[in-house]
Amino acid sequence: MVRAGRHDDAVALFDFFFRRSNIVPNIVSYNTLILAHVDATRVDDAMQVYRDMLGSAPFSPSAVTFRHLTKGLVAAGRIRDALDLLREMVGRGAGADSLVYNNLIAGYIDLDDWGKAFELFNELTERCVVYDGVVHTTFMEGYWKQGKDKEAMDNYESLLQRGFKMTPATCNVLLETLFKHDKHKEANNLWETMMDNHTPPSFIGINAESYNVMVNQCFKEGKFEEAIEVFHRQPRKNVQMDVGCFNNIIGKLCENGMLAEAEKLFEEMETKSVLPDVYTYTYLVDSCFKEGRVEDTMQYFFKMADGREHGPKFNIAFFNRMFEGLTEAGRIDDALKVYGRMPDKEIKPNTATYEMLVKALCKEGYLDRARDLVTDMARAGVEPPQLFRESVVDIFKKSDRQEEIEKAFEEQPLPTPPPRTENQPRTEYRPRNAVGVPQVKQPGLSSAAPVQPGYGYSQPQPPAFKDAQNQQPGFGYSQPQQPAFKNTQNQQSGFDSSRQWHSGFGAPQAQHPGYGTPQPVQAPRPQFGASQGVPGYSNHPSQVGYGSQPQSGYGFAPHQEQVLYGNQVPPAPPAYVASQSQSSHGNHWSQSGHGSPQGQLGNNQIS
């Protein structure tokens, strides 16, 4: 957003994420916010963000923080404040950053205070462990502004005599500066040096932006073929070209009527695993329209729209260029096909979109289609310009259909769906073998009974005084049950045991002291974190988890307390109701377990 100039949107987004949503920002977040204020010439706001970061953030400002702030202060004519900030940076032990010093040196040179500029430069050379040479470029520019060509080149020679390898960022600035002042020989020599120094991974001497500088200079001089040669020239170890580098030369070729060469580079992108983006296609489509190759533009469109699963992201400018070219060529049907793909690509038509299409349809006499588009426009909440509306109404008026089009313009916008809030559950993908998903009943270990919802889903409550059944605990499953008017049996429980008793894990065993076996009656003993009863994985009556309360379901009688993990109190529940409770992870109905909800009281609870 900051790069697109949407500074206020960037500030609002920071506020939403990091102040209202309790997300903790990092240093990059703060630096981006500071840059947004600086670019919007709100230096005081940027300084306030800096002070807030010092007061609340668990980290220190970075060199990038001071770069943004000093650049903004110098641009605002507050060079003394920028110098104070530089001293604060050094005092905090952040080290001497050449770009921070460069911002102040450039400011003092603009004020014609060369003495202070050299003083800061000498301070930088003493403090800086590795000097990258960027300040020399600033001095060269300062000399050239004053017409001191000799001093500028002497400064450049002194930089070369230092004999250290400069990073691509510094060299790219030097290349632009030398070309700007017609020092082509020196620039080309520097380019050759960059090529020779490029020995990755030990040292990166050239990057994709370096190629952009050289290619742009060739096009500026009208040397188109040489630009292509420079683009394809590689050092001993290749430089990986990115999509921006390809777009730069493809755009320049298209602007100069060299579409065939641009298409060759487009095909080359695939061989080098560089994915074209919407700007690549926009250059090609625009040139195809200019050369009358309308059919090729449709092929590019469908290649972009139907190609890879995660293809280029469209923008409204690309769609509008398609509409402009297709309507001018009289290809209304193709334009409507492209219009129909906009929802798929999550692009909303704007005023220019509707104007082009409606005018073209009216011109061809397709008034019904034009009316439908006007209806779409009104329902989308796009306000038509007054001149556009009047011209369309006049066309329909000539066909005695003025009332019809007026009604279309007066359509009310469709309500937009409410934004998702943090309390709205998102759709959850649950694999077939997940807890709570219907399973095939298998005899033996953990066979599933009639399917019940899983984690966090409430279960239907059985009516009171009807047949209830003993419930077995499991992870989200309830088990087959006994009729309520029969004698209850002593039951053993295990993880996800089925009602059919088989030998193995979960089947009844000989009663021995331990988990889940009946014990002599004991007085309840308090357990850590439990208010009554015992936490545990057992389906005996009235089990509770850590800190939960005794539970009673709809139509269920209160139960006896139990102590220890799974120990049962012998007294049986009343004969007319089933007194067993269910233990599982996450079920909401008369259940207990680690972290489960508290018991729910029904209307027919027996007290």
Q: What is the pLDDT of residues 370-400, one digit of tens each?
A: 999 999 999 999 999 999 999 999 999 999 9
pLDDT, position 419: 53
Q: What are phi and psi of 530, to 5 degrees?
A: -105, 135
Does residue 358 have a pLDDT over 80? yes
Q: What is the mean pLDDT of residues 68-74?
A: 97
Does residue 487 have a pLDDT over 80? no
Model confidence at 143, pLDDT cuts 50, 70, 90, reads very high
Tens-place pLDDT, residues 302-328 = 999 987 666 788 999 999 999 999 999
Does residue 341 have a pLDDT over 80? yes
pLDDT, position 596: 38
Interior angle at CA 129, CA 127 and CA 131, nearest 5: 95
Name residues whose C-beta falls within 8 Å of residue 188's C-beta, 6 or more positions apart in sequence.
Answer: none
Does residue 429 have a pLDDT over 60? no
Does residue 562 have a pLDDT over 90? no
Q: What is the mean pLDDT of residues 196-221?
A: 93
pLDDT, greater one: 455 or 109: 109
Q: What is the mean pLDDT of residues 178-197?
A: 94
Q: Which of 296-310, 415-429, 507-521 has the lowest mean pLDDT?
A: 507-521
pLDDT, position 469: 43
Model confidence at 538, pLDDT cuts 50, 70, 90, reads very low
Cα–Cα distance, 444 to 505 (Å, whole number): 8
The proportion of the chain whose per-residue pLDDT surpasses 70, expressed as a percent, equals: 68
Average pLDDT taken over every residue of the chain: 77
Cα–Cα distance, 415 to 571 (Å, whole number): 62
Amino acid type, 243: V
CA atoms within 13 A on the CB side of 437: 8
For the chain, which residues make up each domain, given as ranges?
351-409, 459-484+519-607
pLDDT, position 550: 42
Cα–Cα distance, 172 to 133 (Å, whole number): 12
Question: Is residue 177 packed enough to be buried (19+ CB in 10 Å), middle (13-18) or exposed (0-12)?
Answer: buried
Does residue 203 have a pLDDT over 80? yes
Q: What is the 3-state secondary structure (H, E, C) of 318-346?
A: HHHHHHHHHHHCCCHHHHHHHHHCCCCCC
Model confidence at 236, pLDDT cuts 50, 70, 90, reads confident
Q: What is the 3-state secondary structure (H, E, C) of 2-29?
A: CCCCCHHHHHHHHHHHHHHCCCCCCHHH
Compute the Cα dihedral for 138, 143, 147, 151 and give only its sign: negative
Q: What is the mean pLDDT of residues 233-238?
A: 88
Q: What is the mean pLDDT of residues 531-535?
A: 41
